[in-house]
Amino acid sequence: MGEHEARGWIRCDETAKQMLSRVLGDRAFLLLPPLHRVPLRAGNVVEITGSSPTAKTQILIQAAITCILPKTWNGVHYGGLEKLVLFLDLDCRFDVLRLSDMLKHRLLEAYRIGNGAWWQLEESNVKTQDKSKIVYDEELYVSCMKRFLYLRCYDSLELLSTLKTLHYRIRPQEACGSQVGVLMIDSIGAFHWTDRLSSSLALDKNNRKSLSLTNVVETIVQEMKKLMQVHSLVVIATKATIYEEKCPTNENNGKLSSNNAMPGNASSKAQQPPFREFMPSSWQAFVTHKIFMRKSGDYQSSGQQSLSAYSLEWLQPQLSSIDRFIVDDSGIVIVS
């Protein structure tokens, strides 16, 4: 090697500061409420587990709205990411009206706050006629709804074909400027039993991959990894627990163990997951963040009827605090 080449090889491409600013700009941290306790980056896979019903889909919708809103529009700050959301509905129960209502609420709220009319937020709960005076921006609403892409899959083969062809089919939407921000899967364990059944029907085993549960999930994980290499996206998947909790733990148990003087006791209680894991190990290794949701009694809000409250616990990374929230018209409201 000549001297010039050697010097060129030693000379750096960019400084650490330049690299950090590039990476943070490209793959920025996402703070999606109510998952705001842990900032998420592109490449993270979040799994939300809970029995049914525990507001898992509501969390997805809330996160989707934060993703599709723009940062600012016409001088009003919305604090969104302006990215596409891909929603794969395996439960086939999604209600688009709920998404639309929550989006309208957010637009109205941000508009009022932006225009200094925040004091009207409380009053509008009582006087519904006032809402018609403050109209949300229709064009903004339409552009946000267009960033939400939805598809239903009725079995694993459809899911596999969707994942394989996703990259090519998203290209026309991406060409309009927006990137993909989040890939959401509602109920990853939806085809668990049918796939388990087909593994017992596997015929010719030589050299042929049977359509078994492990193979299907492995291929799903493979395809998602390839997608994450090309698009910088976060994957959020909900999972409904299929097996009944043998020993139901509640919040008081958790608090007691954290206050316990014996550290060994607390750590052993923390390591034991409160639900029975049924997804194959390839999926478990793919998941980087885990959340557990459960019902946590009723919440008496002022003057109105009692709503059921749910609690959200981060299992990975393990956080000691548990968020408690209720679901009302405008979305998820954190209570304590």
Partner 1 sequence: MAPLKHLEMENSIIDECFRDFCASHGILTVEDFLLHDLYELAAFAEREANADRLKEGITVMLSLIELQCRPWLNGMELLEDLQRNKHTLSSGDNGMNSLLQGGYGEGQLTELVGPSSSGKTQFCMRAAASVAEKQEGSVFYIDTGNSFSARRIAQFICGGSDAAALRKRVLSRISCHTVYDIYTMFDTLQGLEVALRSQVQMNVNEYRLRLLVVDSISSTITPILGGSGSQGTCP
Measured distance between the N- and C-terminal CA atoms of the chain, rounded to whole angstroms: 65
Residue 117 touches partner 1, criterion: CB under 8 A: no
d(CA 211, CA 173): 32
Encode 280-311 in three state secondary structure. CHHHHHHCCEEEEEEEEEEECCCCCCCEEEEE
Structure tokens at 46: 């979040």
Q: Which is nearer to partner 1, 166 or 332 (CB)?
A: 166
Element holding 180 (H helix, E strand):
strand 180-186
CB of 87 vs partner 1, minimal distance in Å: 9
142-201: contacts with partner 1 (CB under 8 A):
142, 144-153, 157-158, 160-162, 164-165, 168-170, 173
Q: Which is nearer to partner 1, 123 or 328 (CB)?
A: 328
Residue 58 touches partner 1, criterion: CB under 8 A: no
CB of 232 vs partner 1, minimal distance in Å: 19
Q: Among the candidate windows 14-22, 207-215, 261-269, 316-324, which touches partner 1 by CB under 8 A?
A: 207-215
Residue 101 touches partner 1, criterion: CB under 8 A: no
Amino acid at 241: T
Q: Which is nearer to partner 1, 137 or 158 (CB)?
A: 158
CB of 316 vs partner 1, minimal distance in Å: 26
CB of 70 vs partner 1, minimal distance in Å: 15
d(CA 318, CA 30): 19
- The CB-side HSE value for 191 (13 A sphere, CA atoms) comes to 23
- Whether 39 and 114 have beta carbons less than 8 Å apart is answered as no
Structure tokens at 13: 């491409």
234-253: contacts with partner 1 (CB under 8 A):
242-244
Q: Among the candidate windows 4-12, 128-136, 204-212, 306-314, which touches partner 1 by CB under 8 A?
A: 204-212
Q: What share of the chain is helix, strand, coil (3-state, %, to 5)?
A: 40, 20, 40
In the shown chain, the binding pattern of residues 70 to 89 toward partner 1, with x for contact by CB under 8 A and - for none, equals: ----------------x---
Cα–chain center distance at 59: 7
CB of 211 vs partner 1, minimal distance in Å: 6
Ramachandran area for residue 255 (φ above 0: left; ψ -120 to 50: alpha; else beta): alpha
Instruction: Give the helix ranges, DSSP H, for 115-212.
Output: 120-124, 138-146, 156-175, 192-200
Cis peptide before 263 (omega within 30 of 0): no
CB of 216 vs partner 1, minimal distance in Å: 7
Residue 202 touches partner 1, criterion: CB under 8 A: no
Residue 100 touches partner 1, criterion: CB under 8 A: yes
Q: Among the candidate windows 202-210, 255-263, 291-299, 310-318, which touches partner 1 by CB under 8 A?
A: 202-210
Please give the residue ranges that form the binding site for partner 1 (CB under 8 A). Answer: 86, 96-97, 99-100, 142, 144-153, 157-158, 160-162, 164-165, 168-170, 173, 207-209, 211, 215-216, 219, 222, 226, 242-244
